[in-house]
Amino acid sequence: MDYQYQYDVVVIGGGAAGLTLALHLAPTTRIALITKGPLSESATLYAQGGISAVLDESDSTESHIRDTLEAGASLCDMEAVRFAVEHGQECIRWLTSCGVPFTRETESNRSHSYHLTREGGHSHRRVIHAADATGRAIETTLEQRIHAHPNIDVFEQHIAIDLITTAKLGIASSRCVGAYVLDKQRQEVHTFRAPFVVLATGGAGKAYLYTSNPDVSTGDGIAMAWRAGCRVANMEFIQFHPTCLYHPEAKSFLITETVRGEGGKLLLPDGGRFLSKFDPRAELAPRDIVARAIDHEMKRLGIPCIYLDISHKPAEFTLRHFPTVYQRCLEFGYDMTKQPIPVVPAAHYTCGGVKTSIRGRTDIVGLYAVGETAYTGFHGANRMASNSLLECLVFAMSAAKDIERELKTAPPPPPLPDWDESRVTVSNEEIVVAHNWDELRRFMWDYVGIVRTTKRLEKAKRRVDLLTKEVEDHYRHYRITNDVIELRNLTLVSELIIRSALSRKESRGLHFTTDYPTPDNTKRPTPTVLCPPNYGREQERPGTDPHLTLV
Ligand code: FAD
Ligand code: SIN
């Protein structure tokens, strides 16, 4: 039984960005909040370090802007940077008013009473946090408010498949009017009709074999927006976090950068420090530099990991600041108050995404993108630690304001056709999906990782082209499943990463290639913007999607 739902706004994604946007709109607007797993499962839930914001009198907006621009390696958009930094305090005030329990100073003679920690690239202590589980504190606090709000209907275990645009329906105007969504428990595809759709689907870390990201981070929003006709930008800039726990069962558990911020040292197996050889800021250099230095030393010495040591600090200090990390490491046999812990880099953050304005608008009227899915220009070629949650909050708030204004004059969406499964059958080829999923993540890790070469990128391009054909063939012939949706999206996002990486003939920020090992300073650096084949098209060719039958 397929349902048609009708809302003012459909929000796809329940991390920091989606929840913030929904809560800001809810007083005046009927909202469907769709998440493909349980509501809390998101990258947000696992965020450890905190949120950057100018909160201390010794700090300044100009200093936060300067640090962000420096980390972004001349590719940040100045308007987006200023906008995000200037709205930081307001967002933190909103979170505290919602009840997020940020860690307080034990003793304070400052104008505020919160403990601020440090991370790489920040020249001041400006990271507000809830011990080492900041994301959990945000997600669980906001989630309670979402459930309590009468204007928000939550659809958990529902995965969005694709957006519905008037262009797709053959109507000559270009607007997003809804989405097709698979109810994973009932295995039914429902139609969500709304004049506004928001993509808040997070990043695409699962394109890589080793990642700090949860399983939901499969780049769905970026892929859906691209297929609908939106431009994407800066997809080559994938951030690798330098320190994930090295253990076969730890599933790339992150060891927060604030461990280094509070004095943790990175060591080689012989106990020697090495980072100052690469950057005078040593352990507090931005992540791209630290991750590359670790990668270099691991390859040079043929070692599987390096070590992070904070055992010189009093045990009481470590337990107070890092209770989650301490406990998790202990479960794997490492007592971080007494010994160094083994760590490796892993894919962590997607700096690029759906190109948006500071109001969250995409290239398609009625379609917004916020959070890690979006490219606002804030991060440039490298995101500074704790600037991501800030971006989620600031741009979700500004998109909410924009939608609220626009709702007054938006035309009601036309009637929408149901998802059509009359031309597909149940698959007996699931092994192909599983195989292609593994193959993709492995070659992305080996060929499109921390250090790149043109030759390896070209190899990756040939493989991803082949996979694209196979996955599209599967999509056209078989009933849709969660795994096919995610693999289709990951394959597309990987292709966008590879194409962007191939087109950047220099090394800058997170994109490092041995064929062009330095930044090209002969011209002004520009973001990499890719246009889909249907960009700007008012009407698409009929029959493009086998599941859409127009009457
Ligand atoms: P997410 O929080 O990832 O939420 C995405 C949502 O979209 C989920 O609800 C998911 O179910 C849903 N979704 C996805 N696809 C679909 C679909 N097709 N249909 C329906 N629903 C869908 N940043 C910081 O600033 N500070 C930190 O300390 C920090 N620590 C981090 C630690 C870890 C381990 C990780 C992985 C990231 C960390 N980051 C940190 C980055 C930051 O957490 C993320 O960038 C941010 O939380 C992203 O929020 P989001 O709302 O954009 O997406
Ligand atoms: C961390 O705590 O190290 C992650 C911070 C971030 O990704 O911003």
Q: Average the pLDDT over each of 1-5, 112-116, 272-276, 383-387 and give the range with the smallest value.
A: 1-5
Residue of 180, 178, 220 whose CA lies nearest to 203: 220
Identify the pLDDT of residue 109: 57
Tokens of residue 71, six digits: 């980390």
Q: What's the count of helices (H) and strands (E) in the chain, helices before strands?
A: 15, 20
545 or 182: whose pLDDT is higher? Answer: 182
Cβ neighbours, 10 Å, residue 384: 25
Closest-CA residue, ligand 1 atom 53, reads 202
Q: Cα separations (Å) of 483 from 228, 423, 477, 480, 490?
A: 21, 20, 15, 8, 10
Kindly state the average pLDDT of the residues 537-548. Answer: 79
In order of their start, the domains of the chain are: 3-236+351-406 (3.50.50.60), 243-347 (3.90.700.10), 430-516 (1.20.58.100)
Kindly state the average pLDDT of the residues 108-113. Answer: 64
Q: Cα separations (Å) of 363 from 175, 232, 357, 369, 499?
A: 10, 10, 9, 10, 20
Residues near ligand 1 (Cβ within 6 A): 12-18, 34-37, 41-44, 46-51, 134-135, 159-160, 200-203, 212-213, 216-217, 220, 254, 349, 371-373, 386-389, 392
Q: Each residue of 482-529: pLDDT tens digit?
A: 999 999 999 999 999 999 999 999 999 999 999 999 999 999 999 999
Ligand 2 pocket check: which of 386, 392, 393 to mutate, most ligand atoms within 8 Å of Cβ?
386
Q: Is the pTM of this model over 0.85?
A: yes
| Closest atom of ligand 2 to CA, residue 134 | 2
Identify the pLDDT of residue 1: 63
Tokens of residue 177, six digits: 């009017």
DSSP 457-471: HHHHHHHHHHHHHHH
Q: β-strands 196-199, 367-369: how paired?
A: parallel
Residue with tokens 């060719």: 541
pLDDT over 80 at 544, yes or no:
no
Residue 514: which H helix or E strand, with range?
Answer: none
Query: Which residues does residue 32 pair with via DSSP β-bridges, in sequence order?
Result: 10, 153
Tokens of residue 540, six digits: 């698409």
Q: Cα separations (Å) of 303 from 118, 177, 330?
A: 29, 52, 23
Residue of 386, 384, 362, 364 whose CA lies nearest to 373: 362
359 or 110: whose pLDDT is higher? Answer: 359
Residue with tokens 């939901």: 216
CA angle 269/273/277 to nearest 5° reads: 125
Kindly state the average pLDDT of the residues 42-67. Answer: 96
Q: Each residue of 357-410: pLDDT tens digit?
A: 999 999 999 999 999 999 999 999 999 999 999 999 999 999 999 999 999 999
Are 456 and 446 within 8 A, CB to CB?
yes
Gap from CA of 291 to ligand 2 centroid (Å): 13
Gap from CA of 358 to ligand 2 centroid (Å): 23
DSSP 311-327: TTS-HHHHHHH-HHHHH
Phi, psi for residue 17 in degrees, rounded to 5: -70, -50
The total number of residues written for the chain in this structure: 551
Q: Each residue of 339-352: pLDDT tens digit?
A: 999 999 999 999 99
Kindly state the average pLDDT of the residues 237-250. Answer: 94
Identify the pLDDT of residue 112: 64
Residues near ligand 2 (Cβ within 6 A): 48-49, 256-258, 385-386, 388
110 pLDDT band, cuts 50/70/90, is low
Q: Which residues are catalytically annotated?
A: 287
* Of 1-5, 81-85, 541-545, highest mean pLDDT: 81-85
Q: Each residue of 295-316: pLDDT tens digit?
A: 999 989 999 999 999 999 999 9
User: Integer distance in angstroms from the first to the last C-alpha of the chain?
Assistant: 20
Q: Each residue of 182-227: pLDDT tens digit?
A: 999 999 999 999 999 999 999 999 999 999 999 999 999 999 999 9
Are 489 and 202 within 8 A, CB to CB?
no
Gap from CA of 202 to ligand 1 centroid (Å): 5
Tokens of residue 411, six digits: 């035309």
Residue 43: which H helix or E strand, with range?
Answer: helix 43-46
Are 355 and 233 within 8 A, CB to CB?
yes
Taking the C-alpha atoms of residue 509 and residue 447, their distance in angstroms, rounded to an integer, is: 18
CA angle 121/86/263 to nearest 5° reads: 25
Identify the pLDDT of residue 405: 97
Phi, psi for residue 44 in degrees, rounded to 5: -55, -45
111 pLDDT band, cuts 50/70/90, is low
Give the CB-side neighbour count of residue 353, counting CA atoms within 13 A. Answer: 35
Q: Average the pLDDT over each of 10-24, 238-252, 533-547 and give the range with the smallest value.
A: 533-547
Q: What is the DSSP letter of 77?
A: -
551 pLDDT band, cuts 50/70/90, is low
Counting ligands in written order, which one lies closest to the CA of residue 183? 1
Residue of 411, 371, 374, 37 whose CA lies nearest to 193: 411
Using H for helix, E for strand and C for coil, what is the string for 106-135? CCCCCCCCECEECCCCCCCCCEECCCCCHH
